[in-house]
A and B are shown apart, each in its own frame.
Chain A
């Protein structure tokens, strides 16, 4: 357990080193870019570089960067005109809400489908769920999001407009947690809750599909393997009913590898978000990152990268801990 935690700080330092170095290999001098094409007075550029500390040795600049990052200062965003850290704080709840819901969708649909597929190997159900899950893993999610919007909204008119968390004329519930689903209930407004959920579902579903495919594939494989074990035969020979063998004996053991995969998937949802958010105009970290990329807003790009990587590491540590709770054989020395 201790060793698991001890590995984290060097990784976090490594992450900041990567984002720092990437900030410094970007094409173009930030001072020159800030001043624009017209101002090419070398004196002014040098002064600005000095003012920003760009003329000091890289290691010194890195220590500064690290100190700033630790105190929550990630630089200034050119395209929003605000500190990057403020932007991230502002956009994080929308991303977290979307990630959580899509994770729930992947789990709630994926586990029964995987069990069904594994318990009925080589039936039509199995084949359909295998092919389906492979297709989900093979398509670009940003493309599927566009198809969902086109067919669901433009052609059929069944789905909400791709305008983000709510329609143009809707007002957001009073902010408490930043999660519209929670805030609307806290405000005692079930209508707002339904509306928020309605806007959440298309992007959440789009985001859930690759994870869903992975869960089905993993769980199917584990179930098939576990059902071939001796203790399953023992349970059957003692007269346990089919469903009881499946759920009480097989599923618990088969779930262990799937939980690991789910953990990694949960961390990845924050990055899978990026393009899906951009497609659905979802006002989260992902859409912010894509905007920052098109604006060549490097501080914002690296700020997002840093935040997402740190979240990813944190989630992975949590998953390892929960893994130990689920399987008593796992210990961390």
Chain B
């Protein structure tokens, strides 16, 4: 898919040589498949997606059902990951938590990339005052370390899972805008853009058909790795009580719930959600690495 996306601006010519296109397609898929680590990353994510969708079938218990007779049970028969302070089954909470954490990552990046890219494209294509104004705002947003900006935004918006997602999205919006702007600056100078303009194509058509397809690959690479980072950031907000609220089985909030129990030797409440976060973020990072290698022109020589 990757190479097909990159070649779309040349699609008029490429349509005439489907064999070559299929060939490139195959090479791209082959390269991604040869990268064992990326395939492993994709595998982890697919597994979590399946778990999230099939949560009611996978989870042995109700994730929010309180059972005072089964409080703080260590991992063992009936509760493979143990139970928490309220007797809730940790495994079931992690299974249902996948629904939150995966969606958090995807939605946060969707808002950030979907919101930032148009600004960057417009800034890079039209230049001038508009460009200056948009980039100055980006400079300011990028002047904050993302965790601190997310915490400040989260504090101002108040506690809540979706507010935390918005806070996380705002912190990364400027990065996408700047990336899209850089790619647009290169793209608008291409000969085929000039040719399209000479043929009388409107700005909207040039942007949608010739400029945008070229900036898709860097955005996709950034977005893939960004999803892992967003999951970490949102979990951090939940950990300090700004994100998901109890009894939502969000992984960051679960780590926070188990935090005070560690002193009494109850390690399982915090440990397992942390491993879950780590595996999802690792999956996004591995996949992102692989996609970058495939899409990066320099990577082409390394095959």
Q: Are A268 and B240 in contact (CB under 8 A)?
A: no
Q: How many A-B pairs fall under 8 Å by CB?
A: 134
Q: Residue on A with the closest CB to B156? A: A22
Q: Are B145 and A309 in contact (CB under 8 A)?
A: yes
CA distance A294 to B240 in the complex (A): 7
- In the assembled complex, the Cα of A19 lies from the Cα of B271 at a distance in Å of 35
A-chain residues with CB within 8 Å of residue B145 when the two chains form the complex: 267-268, 270-272, 308-309, 312
Cα-based distance from A150 to B267 in the complex (angstroms): 8
Query: Which residues of chain A have C-beta atoms less than 8 A from B154's C-beta?
Result: 293
B235 touches A (CB below 8 Å) = yes
Binary B-proximity of A116-153 (CB < 8 A = 1, otherwise 0)? 00000000000000000011011110111011011000
B152 adjacent to A11 (CB under 8 Å): no
Given known pairs A7-B139, A18-B144, A134-B282, the reply for A305 and B263 (CB within 8 Å) is: no
Interface 9-residue window, one of A102-110, A165-173, A174-182, A296-304: A296-304
B143 at the interface (CB under 8 A from A): yes
Cβ contact within 8 Å between A304 and B240: no
A305 and B144 contacting across the interface, CB-CB below 8 Å: yes
B49 interfacial contact with A, CB 8 Å? no
A27 near B158 (CB under 8 angstroms)?
A: yes
Report A308 CB to chain B, min CB distance, Å: 5
Q: Does A240 contact B (CB under 8 A)?
A: no
For A298, give its contact among B155, B270, B271 (CB under 8 Å).
B155
B274 & A143 in contact (Cβ 8 Å cutoff)? yes
A145 to chain B, nearest CB (A): 10
Q: Which of B146, B152, B228 is close to A19, meaning CB atoms less than 8 Å apart?
A: B152
- Hey, which chain B residues are within 8 Å of A23, CB to CB? 156
- Which one of B143, B156, B239, B279 contacts A25 once the chains associate, using CB atoms below 8 Å? B156
Q: B residues 98-152 with Cβ under 8 Å of A?
A: 136-137, 139-141, 143-149, 151-152
- B262/A139 in contact, CB under 8 A: no
Q: Which chain B residues border A139 with CB–CB below 8 Å?
A: 274, 277-278, 281
Tell yes or no: A115 within 8 A of B by CB: no
The reply to whether B148 and A11 form a contact with Cβ atoms under 8 Å apart is no
A294 in contact with B241 given A11-B139, A301-B155 (CB within 8 Å): yes
Which residues on the B side are within 8 Å of A147 (C-beta)? 271, 274
| B interface, over-half SS | helix
Return chain B residues, CB-CB under 8 Å to A313: 143
Q: Find out whether the CB atom of B156 lies under 8 angstroms from the CB atom of A142.
A: no
Residue on A nearest B279 in the bound complex, by CB = A138
Query: Which residues of chain A are near B148, meaning CB under 8 Å?
Result: 271, 274, 289, 304-305, 308-309
CB-CB nearest in chain B for A134: B285
**Is the beta-carbon distance between A140 and B149 smaller than 8 angstroms?**
no
- B72 located at the interface, meaning its Cβ lies under 8 Å from any Cβ of chain A in the complex: no
Are B156's CB and A140's CB within 8 A? no
Q: Within 8 Å of chain A (Cβ to Cβ): is B8?
A: no
B139: A residues at CB distance < 8 A: 7, 10-11, 14
Q: How far is the CB of A49 from chain B (nearest CB, A)?
A: 19
Pick from A143, A150, A312: contact of B144, CB below 8 A. A312
B21 at interface by CB-CB < 8 Å: no
Which of the listed residues A19, A144, A290, A308 has the most CB atoms from chain B within 10 Å of its own CB? A308
Taken together as a complex, chains A and B put the C-alpha atoms of A309 and B149 apart, in Å, by 9
Find A301's partner among B151, B265, B271, B279 (CB 8 Å cutoff). B151
CB distance from B243 to the nearest CB of A (A): 12
B236 within 8 A of A: yes
Given A26-B156, A138-B228, check contact A17 B140 (CB 8 Å).
Answer: yes
* B-contacting residues, A22-38, CB 8 Å: 22-23, 25-27
Q: Which B residues touch A293, using CB under 8 A?
A: 151, 154-155, 240-242
A interface residues, Cβ below 8 angstroms from B: 7, 10-11, 14-15, 17-19, 22-23, 25-27, 134-135, 137-140, 142-144, 146-147, 149-150, 154, 267-268, 270-272, 274-275, 278-279, 289-290, 292-294, 296, 298, 301-302, 304-305, 308-309, 312-313
Give 18 pairs: A residue, B residue, CB < 8 Å, sorted on A: A11-B140, A22-B153, A22-B155, A22-B156, A138-B228, A138-B282, A139-B277, A142-B255, A143-B255, A150-B267, A154-B265, A271-B145, A275-B239, A279-B259, A289-B148, A293-B151, A294-B240, A305-B149
Name 20 extra pairs, CB < 8 A, besides A23-B156, A289-B148, A312-B145: A11-B143, A14-B139, A17-B140, A22-B155, A25-B156, A135-B278, A138-B232, A140-B235, A140-B236, A142-B236, A143-B273, A150-B262, A154-B263, A154-B265, A270-B145, A293-B154, A301-B155, A305-B148, A305-B152, A312-B143
Binding site for A on B (CB under 8 A): 136-137, 139-141, 143-149, 151-158, 228, 232, 235-236, 239-242, 252, 255, 259, 262-263, 265, 267, 270-271, 273-274, 277-279, 281-282, 285-286
